């Protein structure tokens, strides 16, 4: 059966995953049109594009909760050489229109626009004061494709209609959004290289679990915010927006973004592993022994407790035969015991496969690399009975298919920045 050209089955999966004007129209037909809170004068918004937390709701424990729906557009700048002032103005006008149309908050719209190493090649120099390496493989057992668009736009909202409408407006397919006229679009400046979508939040993974990588028994818990069945992103287990901000140089106020696409294979996770094994592998074996995690883990409050498990991981893994994901990654912390990356990842059904767009912000890409190296746990595998991937956190259930690195400039430099704005 079709509804404006879209099969009901596809529509039930997610309008955002389908995308385009007809998905948006079907969404409006079905749920009525959403009145999102109106935006404001762009000059009053935070200087940091990644300053999202003040616009996010918090859960009962006080952890900020990310928007439910996400679109990532990988974009190419349509012209060779240094960007023109005209193109910069067009991008600025388009983004200002979105900021006037929607409040900078979860039930409105939040977004970032970032630039890749490939973009900066046109200036024959690296961005000033920020190391922005090309993406590479970060483990002996992975072989990801590097993403090489010039730019990346991340759109996020609690409302499917809002991300879809904002995307259509930027592509020049809509003249107004949320009763606000668009002064410009990206048409003629950016072309789309790839489009990725996803969701996060209690109920959404269960609703979207009819995909490859998840057993037909539909085992994802009803209230799980992510496919693997646990809550992620506790306040104490995240870097702060402040600590991931570039502190000096012309891009101060910006940050770096890593994006990987991780394919999930959860057959064994749900059909052979016990709950105890899942808690051991995701958090740490001591959490499983002490039955510290109830359900999806809301009871952990604002701290997963991984910090306490992170000492003597090799010794503990020798005894337990398993190392936890949070346990290993919690070894990558700063002097004040805070994690060094801010995770804003979300699940995906792109291509009909269970996956996760792992998006993280950090002051330097090195901080991501250091964290990933702890997650690999090569030292743990070398010195205990834990395998390279088996019983080594969640490595066995995931495959990194793509990686990309980006600079997210401060808001006033986000439209086609030069490599050295000074
Ligand atoms: C399928 C992919 C992944 C899932 C489902 C996942 C899930 C989780 C969960 C449930 C936690 C514990 C709760 C929390 O602290 O938020 C956690 C912690 C963490 N994860 Fe992941 N994760 C994934 C991939 C990654 C990747 C690729 C990295 C980066 C290399 C990463 C870095 C971290 C860090 C830094 C922590 C917190 C450690 C600390 O407490 O210091 N995760 N993850």
Which residue has the least CA distance to atom 9 on ligand 1?
Answer: 232
What is the SS3 assignment for 351? helix
| DSSP H stretches of helix in 208-274 | 267-271
Residue 10 scores a pLDDT above 90: no
Gap from CA of 153 to ligand 1 centroid (Å)? 23
Radius of gyration in angstroms for the set of CA atoms belonging to the chain, rounded to a whole number:
21
Share of the chain above pLDDT 70, in %: 97
Indicate whether 1 pLDDT > 60. no
Q: What is the mean pLDDT of the chain?
A: 95
Give the bridge partners for 76, in sequence order: 191
What is the best residue among 325, 360, 365, 373 to mutate for testing ligand 1's pocket, by most ligand atoms within 8 Å of CB?
325
Q: What is the dihedral of CA 303, 308, 312, 318, to 10 degrees?
A: -80
Distance 271 CA to ligand 1 centre (A): 22
Q: Where are the beta strands (DSSP E) in 67-126?
A: 69-77, 110-115
Centre of ligand 1 to C-alpha 167, Å, is 29
Which pLDDT belongs to residue 89?
98
| Res 195 pLDDT > 50 | yes
pLDDT mean over 284-307: 98
Tokens of residue 160, six digits: 């499917």
Q: Determine the Cα–Cα distance for residues 378 and 291; give it in Å rounded to an integer.
A: 27
Q: How far is CA 133 from the centre of its chain?
A: 19
- The pTM (predicted TM-score) of the whole model is 0.96
Q: What is the mean pLDDT of residues 52-63?
A: 98
Nearest to 54 by CA among 104, 99, 97, 109: 104
Ligand 1 center–CA 397 separation, angstroms: 14
User: Residue 373 has what pLDDT?
Assistant: 98
Q: Would you place residue 31 in the very low, low, confident or very high pLDDT band (cuts 50, 70, 90)?
A: confident
Distance 232 CA to ligand 1 centre (A): 7
* 181: alpha, beta or left? (left if phi > 0; alpha if psi -120 to 50): beta
Q: What is the pLDDT of residue 3?
A: 42
Alpha carbon of 343 to ligand 1 centroid (Å): 8
> Which residues of 145-289 form beta strands (DSSP E)?
145-146, 151-157, 176-177, 180-181, 190-199, 255-264
Cα 26 to ligand 1 centre (Å): 35
User: What is the number of residues in the chain?
Assistant: 422
Q: Decide: 148 and 132 in contact? Cβ < 8 Å.
A: no
Q: How close is the Cα of 325 to the center of ligand 1, in Å?
A: 7
Can you give the pLDDT at residue 33?
87
Which secondary structure element, helix H or strand E, spans residue 370, and what is its range?
Answer: helix 365-376
- Residue 294 in this model has a pLDDT that exceeds 70: yes
Ligand 1 centroid from CA 3, angstroms: 39
Structure tokens at 61: 């424990």
Can you spell out the DSSP letters for 268-320? Answer: HHHHTS-HHHHHHHHT-HHHHHTT---TTSGGGTT--SHHHHTTTHHHHHHHH
CA 312, chain centre distance (Å): 30
Nearest residue to 339 via CA among 290, 306, 376? 306
Kindly report the number of other CB atoms within 10 A of residue 335's CB atom: 5
Question: Does residue 377 register a pLDDT over 60?
Answer: yes
- What pLDDT was estimated at residue 284? 97
Atom of ligand 1 nearest to the CA of 228: 5
Torsion of CA 113, 118, 121, 122, to 10 degrees: -60
DSSP run (H or E) holding 360: strand 355-362
- Average pLDDT, integer, range 356-361: 98
Q: Which of 13-22, 110-119, 227-236, 342-351 has the lowest mean pLDDT?
A: 13-22
Q: Above 80 in pLDDT, residue 7?
A: no
Give the rounded percent of residues in the chain with a pLDDT score beyond 90.
94
What CA–CA distance (Å, rounded) separates 268 from 218? 13
Which pLDDT tens digit goes with each residue over 143-174?
A: 999 999 999 999 999 999 999 999 999 999 99
Nearest CA to ligand 1 atom 18: 326
The confidence band for 14, taking pLDDT boundaries of 50, 70 and 90, is confident
Residue reference for tokens 């109830």: 294
Confidence bin at 2 (pLDDT 50/70/90): very low
Per-residue pLDDT, averaged over 36-46, amounts to 97
Cβ-contact 414, 96 below 8 angstroms:
no
Pocket perturbation via mutation, ligand 1, pick of 281, 295, 343 by most ligand atoms within 8 A of CB: 343
Mean pLDDT of 39-58: 98
Ligand 1 site-directed mutation target among 329, 347, 348, 395, most atoms within 8 Å of CB? 329
* pLDDT value at residue 12: 55
Q: How far is the CA of 268 from the centre of ligand 1 (A)?
A: 20
Q: Quote the tokens at residue 301.
A: 């409050």
Where do runs of H (alpha helix) occur along 35-107? 85-101
Q: Any residues with Cβ below 6 Å from ligand 1, and which?
A: 226, 228, 230, 232-234, 237, 262, 282, 304, 306, 325-326, 329-330, 333, 339, 341, 356, 358, 371-372, 375, 394, 398
Residue nearest ligand 1's atom 19 by CA: 326
Flag whether pLDDT at 6 surpasses 90.
no
Report the pLDDT value the prediction gives residue 114, as an integer from 0 to 100: 99
- Ligand 1 atom nearest the C-alpha of 283 is 12
Residues sharing a CB contact under 8 Å with residue 358, sequence separation 6 or more, in sequence order? 258, 259, 260, 261, 262, 343, 345
Nearest C-alpha to atom 32 of ligand 1 is from which residue?
329
Residue 32 has a pLDDT of: 85
Which among 113, 76, 78 is positioned nearest to 94, based on CA atoms? 113
Cβ–Cβ < 8 Å for 318, 384: yes
């Amino acid at each position: 059966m079709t509804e404006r050209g879209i099969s009901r089955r596809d529509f039930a999966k997610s309008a955002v995953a389908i995308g385009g004007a007809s998905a948006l129209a079907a969404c409006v037909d079905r749920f009525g049109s959403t009145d999102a809170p109106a935006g404001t004068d762009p000059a009053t918004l935070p200087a940091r594009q990644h300053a999202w937390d003040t616009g996010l709701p918090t859960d009962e424990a006080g952890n900020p909760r990310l928007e439910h729906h996400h679109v990532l557009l990988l974009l190419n700048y349509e012209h060779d050489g240094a960007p023109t002032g005209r193109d910069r103005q067009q991008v600025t006008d388009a983004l200002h229109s979105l900021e006037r149309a929607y409040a900078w908050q979860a039930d409105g719209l939040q977004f970032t626009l970032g630039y890749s190493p490939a973009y900066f090649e046109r200036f024959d120099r690296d961005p000033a004061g920020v190391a922005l390496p090309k993406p590479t493989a970060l483990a002996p057992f992975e072989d990801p494709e590097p993403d090489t668009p010039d730019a990346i736009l991340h759109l996020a909202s609690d409302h499917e209609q809002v991300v879809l409408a904002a995307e259509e407006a930027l592509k020049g397919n809509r003249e107004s959004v949320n009763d606000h006229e668009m002064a410009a679009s990206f048409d003629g400046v950016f072309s789309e290289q790839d489009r990725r979508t996803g969701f996060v939040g209690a109920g959404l993974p269960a609703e979207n679990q009819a995909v490859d990588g998840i057993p037909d028994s539909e085992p994802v818990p009803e209230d799980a915010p992510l496919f693997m069945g646990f809550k992620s992103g506790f306040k104490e287990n995240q870097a702060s927006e402040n600590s991931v901000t570039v502190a000096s140089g012309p891009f101060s106020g910006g940050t770096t973004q890593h994006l990987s696409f991780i394919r999930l294979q959860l057959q064994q996770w749900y059909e052979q592993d016990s709950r105890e094994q899942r808690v051991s592998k995701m958090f740490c074996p001591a959490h499983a022994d002490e039955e510290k995690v109830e359900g999806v883990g809301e009871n952990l409050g604002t701290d997963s407790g991984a910090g306490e498990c992170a000492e003597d991981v090799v010794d503990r893994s020798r005894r337990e035969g398993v190392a936890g994901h949070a346990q290993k990654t919690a070894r990558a912390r700063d002097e004040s015991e805070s994690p060094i990356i801010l995770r804003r990842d979300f699940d995906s059904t792109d291509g009909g496969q269970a996956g996760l767009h792992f998006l993280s912000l950090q002051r330097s890409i090195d901080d991501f690399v250091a964290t990933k190296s702890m997650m690999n746990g090569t030292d743990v595998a070398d010195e205990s009975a834990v395998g390279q991937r088996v019983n080594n956190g969640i490595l066995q259930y995931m495959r990194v298919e793509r990686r990309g690195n980006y600079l997210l400039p401060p808001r006033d430099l986000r439209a086609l920045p030069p490599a050295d704005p000074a």
